[in-house]
A and B are shown apart, each in its own frame.
Chain A
Amino acid sequence: MKKLEPFFVHVIVLAFVAFALYPVLWVLSVALSGAGLASHGGVLPIPHGVTLDNARAVAGVGKPGGVALFLRQLTSSVVVSLGTAIVGVIVATPAAYALARFKFVGARAAERGLLATQMFPAVASAVPLYLVLDALHLLDTRIGLILVYASTAVPFAIFQLRGSFETIPVDLEEAAMVDGATRFQAFVRVVLPAARPAIAVTALFCFMAAWNEFILAATLLSRESAFTLPVVLQRYVGEHDAEWGPFAAGAILVSAPVMAFFYLVQKQLVAGLTAGGVKG
């Protein structure tokens, strides 16, 4: 029984991998064949005739200035998403730390208030956000978009990081403070490195949210070169019909960098795993 155990584990995990992969393979099949997003009645997502035309169309190959425009839009997406992740984590980390470690007046209210911000359906705040950005003269700028995304990323990141800080033993900082470090030094030198995996995961979440968002991006940006990729993709969906081939190909193109990013963050996760010093 004990010998068979790894086998069963792999069977379970593989079953979920199949579940996770199957719809993505359909999208891939559409991206390669250009047929509609309706399945063709078969069980296996095999494309009829493989072509890279759809991917080329998304990347602007064959259109004068198309590739350069696509690269600028890619840059725009990366800048906005990274910006959101960085702003979100930088703003949230100290606040999350304070909520996890200090007892202070208003802590409970802050905690509840933060949770409350997540409860209000986002649809209701689009127009007021537009007015705030207009007042700040940040319409049609990437900083404006980063701030808007930060508005959802910060409360989430505070929540997520507070939970993680609570799992870090208090003894670590106390030991550092006994050795003469100030509270802030202990926070930066001891707690932050220990929380690295959690910070990485939180940054990934913030990045992902910004990377896939398109309604606010399309509403707030008015220059084609500043469009983020989801806005570019959404242009393949019209009032009456949609070009599913390029749409699906674009979706695959958009998710590739995220997978790469996840790989990088995964190293952080593993680093956190081995930093504990115990190997299995």
Chain B
Amino acid sequence: MMRRALLLLALVLASLLVSCEDTDARTVVLWHAYRGDEELAIEDVAQAFERAHPGVRVELLSVPFEAYLSKLESAAPRGHGPDVFIDAHTRLGAYEETKVVAKLPSGVLDEHAYDATSIAAAAGYGVPLSTKCVALYTNTALLPEAPRALSDLEHAKLAPGDYPLAYEADVAYYHAALLSAFGGRILDDAGNYTFDSDAGVASLELLRRLSREHVIPDEPNGSLVTQLFVSGRAAAVIGGPWLRADLGTHVHYRVTSLPVVDGAGPMRPLLTVEAAMLTPRGEKSELAIDLVRFLGSRDAALTLATVGHQVVARNDAWTDPRLDGDPALVAFHEAARTAVATPTSARMQSAWVPTDEAIKKVLRGGDPRAALAESHARFDDAVKPPPPPASPTPALVLLGALLLFASWRIVKNTRISDVRASASAYRYTAHAFVVVIVLVVLPLGAGAATSLFAGTRDAPRYVGFANYVAILTARGGALLGHGSFYLTLLVTVLWTLLNVFFHVTIGVLLGVLLSRPAMKLRAAYRALLVLPWAVPSYVTALAWKGMFHRQFGAVNALLSFVGAEPISWFSKFSTALTANVTTNVWLGFPFMMVVTLGALTSIPKEVLEAAEVDGCTRAQRFFRVTLPLLRPALLPAVVLGAIWTFNMFNVVFLVSGGEPDGTTDILVSDAYRWAFTRDAQYGYAAAYAVLIFGLLWLMTRASSKIAERAS
């Protein structure tokens, strides 16, 4: 076994050495997040650039969208990563602050070739390549006439149970179009929150009516919208160019601009401009600047349009007759001309979630004015200016006192002879000590230190304990008010207790049952029961979310199969928590089962048999013999399991997403929101992390004290 392990190690090391490659000076690195046809198109353009510049290589990297921001923000400011990257203009605000992007040198951008909206959106940082906005897809078989007004859709004659219109109505990005029909906006030019207005109320009242009259389906999400349209159960859907690839040839459709809202104005969607931008490293390279210029050329635009089916931003590309053969593309280009560019300001990032929450609340029957006032307050709270700079003295004094206390304790409790006697143990632990210090303790310490800072990552400002004070005083609100630290803590504790209880009960039960000597089909059962753990959890968590859908979910289908009422899972705290816990129990019980199985193998069979001979009942045997014997192996797993569950971000984020109204959020998902959806307050999020750490520390200390006393 040792020899085999060493052989494997050698193989792994060998393959690591082979994989090193060097990049030379004639290479230019381009990052993008395109997939499918869009990726093929950008590859074509890169090849054309290579043909025009012999000896030059364009190194393309398609980065997953979810990792794009963090990857760019860690690489670009340190001179790694791309020379050129393609991204939406909406992130420019963030990129400006983190020094990811550099201004274009003069003469690169041909300003006359674009609409003013695109030029303004790219703000001197990028060459606009394409635009994205939503438009109306209509099923030509169900609606032969293209609807011009919303009422045309409402009065369409359809089979009972079918929907005139489907779109992600509870998402702010989509609702912005409805809002614009009443002349409203989410954020004004100065970055103030303007959703809380008469236009906002009117848009929400209309939405509530559409939902009540079943013009639109409940709890719509992207894949449901697509499915309804493809299966002919929705006559029209609102979607962007990205929807086309999913529709394929399953359905005959036409694309038109969004309809007019009767008695108000036309719906104007939000516009995203995708632009080629330079990083600080790319700014210094003639080749990178050439590539940006090339990407912005008319030829490149034509490739992007014909191969990638992109709505290219260059106006002179649209005179090419090849684009006339694609009416949907032309329709999207039309729609883009009336669209409103999404604000670039970093404050927009803080506006999405409160806006989503207000829309959801109204769809569940809440009062629009109250929901809007609440969303306004939450936005203002999220963008509150960072606390004033503080003197570092208190923290340094505290740190010094802690160090003194620690060294005093060490000196007091240690005898040299003991240390000498421990030398043999250190030989076993030294390498693990080094690994843990360098790779775990140092990064965590650095992470914890950011909790004393506020502001952006590259211009942090020392604020002392202000972040902690704000969290522990519930930001000046009620101590158990919405989203307060203490309320979230209670939810987190409840969440952890429920999960660990079910994990351990189910895991130990199955482990013990499967270890029965007479058990048949043991291997097959074992393999099937670890499935939840083997399939990547980000896929299965989303599958569970789909199963808990109110109208189309399998769980409600099962309920109605046995004659029960369907449940709207994510509209109440109790049911939403149930959905989260079910998913996480499903994900976690195999771990406890495998640990139990492993532990049971090292319990001598004689002990169990002796107990049987002594005439113990089954329950006695389990609780007096098996369980105490399992304890040493199970206890660390339970403690670790509890800690992991306490910090289990994925499931909460993917299944309920904090719904309803952020009540099922646990501490760590709240910390994530502060870092990524509320004005990038990394310091504040780090303070959350430190507090989570402190709480867990106290809890494990307390529980081990109790356990010691009990035994």
Q: Taking beta carbons and an 8 Å cutoff, which residues of A are in contact with B?
A: 6, 9-10, 12-13, 16-17, 19-24, 26-27, 30, 35-43, 45, 75-76, 79, 82-83, 86, 89-92, 94-95, 97-99, 102-107, 110, 113-132, 134, 139-143, 147-148, 150-152, 154-156, 158-160, 162-164, 166-168, 183, 188, 192-198, 200-201, 204-205, 208, 212, 214-215, 218-219, 222-224, 226, 230-231, 233-244, 247-248, 251-252, 254-255, 258-259, 262-263, 266, 269-270, 272-273, 276, 278-280
Contacts and interface: CB of A to CB of B under 8 A. Distances in A.
A132 B223 CA distance: 40
Given A12-B509, A40-B552, A280-B605, 10 more contacts: A16-B589, A98-B428, A120-B692, A123-B668, A124-B444, A127-B447, A128-B442, A201-B594, A259-B531, A278-B606
Contact of B692 (A41, A119, A183, A233): A119
Nearest to B445: A128
B636 A160 contact: yes
A237 B546 contact: no
A252 B67 contact: no
Given A120-B693, A238-B65, A167 B603 contact: yes
A236 B448 contact: no
A222 B421 CA distance: 48
Given A39-B547, A219-B67, A266-B527, A139 B19 contact: no
A259 B534 CA distance: 7
Given A121-B647, A201-B595, A242-B222, A162 B636 contact: yes
Contacts of B594: 201, 204
B447 A278 contact: no
A76 B19 CA distance: 10
Contacts of B696: 119
B20 A141 contact: yes
Top 3 nearest A-B pairs (CB, nearest first) are A280-B517, A36-B223, A104-B422
Given A119-B696, A120-B693, A128-B442, A26 B602 contact: no
A38 B448 contact: no
Contacts of A20: 528-529, 531-532, 586, 590
A164 B633 contact: yes
Contacts of B398: none
Given A16-B506, A41-B552, A142-B19, A123 B672 contact: yes
B546 A26 contact: yes
Contacts of B601: 197, 269, 272-273, 276
B443 interface: yes
B66 interface: yes
A38 B411 CA distance: 62
B313 to A, nearest CB: 17
B443 A163 contact: no
A65 to B, nearest CB: 11
Contacts of A115: 639-640, 643, 700
Interface string B49-67: 0000000000011111111
Contact of B598 (A30, A114, A159, A197): A197
Contacts of A155: 436, 440
B211 to A, nearest CB: 18
B575 interface: no
A38 B439 contact: no
Interface in B122-171: 132
A205 B643 CA distance: 16
A223 B222 contact: no
A139 B80 contact: yes
B415 to A, nearest CB: 8
Nearest to A229: B536
B222 A241 contact: yes
Given A24-B540, A121-B689, A239 B65 contact: yes
A94 B429 contact: yes
25 contacts: A35-B227, A38-B546, A75-B15, A86-B8, A90-B9, A99-B429, A104-B421, A105-B422, A119-B693, A121-B647, A121-B671, A126-B70, A127-B457, A129-B439, A143-B16, A155-B436, A160-B637, A163-B637, A167-B632, A205-B591, A234-B67, A255-B536, A259-B527, A259-B534, A266-B523
Contacts of B520: 6, 10
Nearest to A100: B632
Contacts of B433: 95, 110
A19 B583 CA distance: 11
B513 interface: yes
A9 B618 CA distance: 14
B672 A218 contact: no
Contact of B443 (A9, A21, A129, A230): A129
B471 interface: no
Interface string B503-529: 000100110011111111101011111
A200 B599 CA distance: 12
A24 B242 CA distance: 27
B214 to A, nearest CB: 16
Contacts of B330: none
Interface string B228-255: 0000000000001011011000000000
B502 to A, nearest CB: 11
Contact of A16 (B245, B448, B529): B529
Which one of B530, B545, B700 has the greatest number of beta carbons of chain A within 10 Å?
Answer: B530
A164 B213 CA distance: 62
Interface string B598-616: 1101111110010000000
B447 A128 contact: yes
Nearest to B132: A240
Interface in B546-597: 546-547, 549, 551-554, 557-558, 561, 586, 589-591, 594-595, 597
B187 to A, nearest CB: 19
Interface string B625-666: 000010011111101100110110100000000000000000
A279 B517 contact: yes
B2 A192 contact: yes
Contact of B441 (A13, A117, A204): A117
Contacts of B21: 223
Contacts of A41: 551-553, 557
A239 B525 contact: no
Which one of B513, B536, B545, B547 has the greatest number of beta carbons of chain A within 10 Å?
Answer: B536
A29 to B, nearest CB: 10
B71 interface: yes
A134 B80 contact: yes
Contacts of A226: 19
Nearest to A23: B543
Given A16-B506, A38-B227, A83 B16 contact: yes
Given A115-B700, A134-B80, A155-B436, A120 B448 contact: yes
Which one of A107, A167, A218 has the greatest number of beta carbons of chain B within 10 Å?
Answer: A167
A154 B518 contact: no
B540 A27 contact: yes
A255 B535 CA distance: 5
Contact of B429 (A110, A160, A276): A110
Contact of B64 (A9, A12, A231, A279): A231
B710 interface: no
A180 B488 CA distance: 59
B419 interface: yes
Nearest to A42: B557
A124 B78 contact: no
Contact of A36 (B224, B436, B527, B649): B224
A116 B517 contact: no
Given A141-B19, A273-B601, A124 B414 contact: no
B152 to A, nearest CB: 26
A105 B558 CA distance: 58
A17 B223 contact: no
A27 B552 contact: no
Contacts of A143: 16
Contact of B432 (A134, A154, A234, A237): A154
B539 interface: yes
B510 A154 contact: no
A1 to B, nearest CB: 12
A215 B69 CA distance: 11
